[in-house]
Amino acid sequence: MTTQAVALPSTPPTVSRRQAWLRGARELLLHAVLQDRVLSRFYPGVMHFMLFWGVSIQILGTIVNLLQYPLFVPFTIPWPKGGWYLGFELVMDIAGGMILVGVLMAALRRLSFRPKFLVNRWEDWAALVLLAVIAVLGFLTEAFRMSSVDPAWRAWSPIGNATAVWLGLTGPVGQPVHDWLIAGHVVVSLGLVALMPFTKMRHLFVGPLNILVRPERRNGELSTIEDIENTEKLGVANATEFTSPSLVSFDACVQCGRCESVCPATISGMPYNPRTLIHDLQVNAHATFGQKPGEELKPILGETIAKETPWMCTTCGHCLAVCPLFIDPVSAVVDLRRYMTLTTGEVPGAVGEALTNIERRGNPWGMEKAQRAPWVSELGVRVLQPGDETDVLLFVGCAYAYDARSQKAGRELAVLLQRAGVDFAVLGQAEGCCGETARRLGHEYLFQTTAQENLATFAGVKFNRMATACAHCYNTLKNEYPHFGAEFEVVHHTELLAELVQAGKLKGFTPAADGKTLTLHDSCYLGRYNGLYREPRQVLDAVAGVKRTEMPRSQAEGFCCGGGGGQMWMETDPNTRINKRRFEEATKQAGADVIVTACPYCLIMFDDAIRTGGASERVAVKDIAEVLTERQPG
């Protein structure tokens, strides 16, 4: 047995300076130079590749050209010469062509098949027009140089040469024009450089900077307010209260709309949009930092951003996953929520109720501890006392303990573990809420208190690893508790079940012969934040004859159920419900009769969609554990 060493004081992970440098270099190479995220979408990826590499090569080539003259440094670099020069000419020529192709692709996308999330602003067109003019002037300059000098290597500058031929330029007549073209080329290029800080082109510098300075946290981990008892500023009221990396990130946004295109709140029609949120924060920050000393700082909430806005995000993380510049709307939303929850108290009624329930009763349902998980005593599950030992400590979580629908799923999980002979136990009434809901609703103080109480309880028992069936508890225990000193292994029930199936400890499933089609809904906190896509599918596929289908949006592209980020506790407009949209995707597009979940929040959200949609007769939602016990005779 392993005794768990749990230190209560906050212990942020430390890395050496060398590790930090190496990490920074790797991140820059992968995301800024190779641009893996930009290239993840074909058309805009190729378009950006053309523009980025075309412009970068041209800038580098221009620097090389300038170093041929003693302009800025007291020496010249006599390179490139001979064969190198021919190669240099060819590369510069191709780079100019790449800029033109990129500009053409961008213009076509904006004019002809513009995705609805792509906004057209003056600065987008200014950048494209200037880039096109620079490239065209460059080719014209080259064409007139060809006609004046008529070098033997003309073929090494194919586009410049073709331009000269196309214009019918011959002989030295072009020299004066050539000089004017060079001057024009330089002026327009300097104009572009001068415009950079005032347009989205600044992302050329701010983007890599944001990649370098973004906080190093685990996936799915929110920032911690350190020494919260003595901290005066709780949350963010105005731009000066954001951290410097946050401000850099707002400035890096290019308004590409990728976040908007995947945001479940936006797609479902809520008046919320992560692109607009970041844009508004950027505008507010510029205005705030431009204020005169002594002026009252511009508030964000109620002025730049409506007070209701931050409550619409489900914290599903899809925006973070697709943003090519690693901008984090979730952290911004939580910072704003923290201000409302901890400083002004202006929170929606349902949010206040859930938080009060956690404070007073230790769970967002507001139920008595005595009502916890009746299945524990029914099934004779061992309840640990201080000093007791077990192999697997099952962290039940509030949903499986108090929500009537989820209790059924919790029961089936316990049945499976008993059948598989797993040495497991629970903490019973000593288990508290993991604090996930409180944290995402902005109540950092309540989260830290509950986390510390739980860690003290964990320290009193011995276990080898902790298992939980809730994706939210899983993420919090695995990714957020380590900041407070937790050092134990956490597994999700789908991982544990997959392991038991593979080891042959869960077997004898009766083949599925009911002809029903199953589809697995990927919980955001399980998949997107923790990469668990394979395990739940392995478990389902262990039942012979199961007809399993995928929804159009699954795995990394999965669409939220609408319950995360505290949304489960909020009143939402029936016309913009995310769970309804996802339910229709599962049934109408994937043709599923059974929606399988691996998280109680998803289970509850689908259950709600089925009941409110009057579909109980034809569709069912089941936790993955329920699917297994149904097909395993007791």
Nearest to 520 by CA among 507, 533, 506: 533
Q: Does 501 bind ligand SF4 (CB under 6 A)?
A: no
According to DSSP, the residues that pair with 392 across neighbouring strands are 424, 465
99, 137, 313, 336: which one contacts ligand SF4 (CB under 6 A)? 313
Q: What is the smallest separation between the CB atom of 570 and ligand SF4, expressed in angstroms?
A: 13
318, 411, 582, 622: which one contacts ligand SF4 (CB under 6 A)? 318
Q: Does 441 bind ligand SF4 (CB under 6 A)?
A: no
Q: Does 315 bind ligand SF4 (CB under 6 A)?
A: yes
Q: What is the smallest separation between the CB atom of 41 and ligand SF4, expressed in angstroms?
A: 11
Distance between CA atoms of 634 and 631, rounded to whole angstroms? 9
According to DSSP, the residues that pair with 621 across neighbouring strands are 595
Asked whether 147 and 174 are in contact (CB, 8 A), the reply is yes
C-alpha distances out from residue 12 to 144, 160, 228, 247, 456, Å: 62, 57, 15, 22, 18
Q: Does 581 bind ligand SF4 (CB under 6 A)?
A: no
Give one DSSP letter per residue of 107-123, joined into a string.
HHHHHTS--TT----HH
Instruction: Estimate the crossing angle of helix 122-149 against helix 158-167, to 10 degrees.
Output: 80
Cβ distance to ligand SF4 smaller for residue 52 or 144: 52
Asked whether 181 and 137 are in contact (CB, 8 A), the reply is yes
Cβ distance to ligand SF4 smaller for residue 526 or 546: 526
256, 376, 455, 532: which one contacts ligand SF4 (CB under 6 A)? 256
Residue 489 belongs to what H/E stretch? Answer: strand 489-492
131, 234, 253, 446: which one contacts ligand SF4 (CB under 6 A)? 253
Cβ distance to ligand SF4 smaller for residue 140 or 277: 277
44, 96, 160, 257: which one contacts ligand SF4 (CB under 6 A)? 257
Asked whether 609 and 592 are in contact (CB, 8 A), the reply is no
Cβ distance to ligand SF4 smaller for residue 319 or 342: 319
Tokens representing 473 are 């508890």
Backbone angles phi, psi at 205, to 5 degrees: -105, -45
Q: What is the smallest separation between the CB atom of 192 and ligand SF4, expressed in angstroms?
A: 21
Q: What is the smallest separation between the CB atom of 311 and ligand SF4, expressed in angstroms?
A: 11
According to DSSP, the residues that pair with 623 across neighbouring strands are 597
Q: What is the smallest separation between the CB atom of 321 and ligand SF4, expressed in angstroms?
A: 9
Residues in 260-279 at the binding interface with ligand SF4, rule: CB under 6 A = 262-265, 274-275, 278
Q: Respond yes or no on whether the N-terminal peptide bond of residue 348 is cis (omega within 30° of 0).
A: no
Q: Does 239 bind ligand SF4 (CB under 6 A)?
A: no
The burial class, CB within 10 Å (0-12 / 13-18 / 19+), for 540 is buried
According to DSSP, the residues that pair with 462 across neighbouring strands are 3, 389
Contacts of 187 (CB under 8 A, 6+ apart): none
135, 140, 327, 542: which one contacts ligand SF4 (CB under 6 A)? 327
Stretch that binds ligand SF4, among 130-138, 309-317, 537-545, 625-633 (CB under 6 A): 309-317
188, 254, 399, 501: which one contacts ligand SF4 (CB under 6 A)? 254
Report how many residues bind ligand SF4 under the rule CB under 6 A: 26
Which residues lie near ligand SF4 (CB under 6 A)? 253-259, 262-265, 274-275, 278, 313-319, 323, 325, 327, 329-330
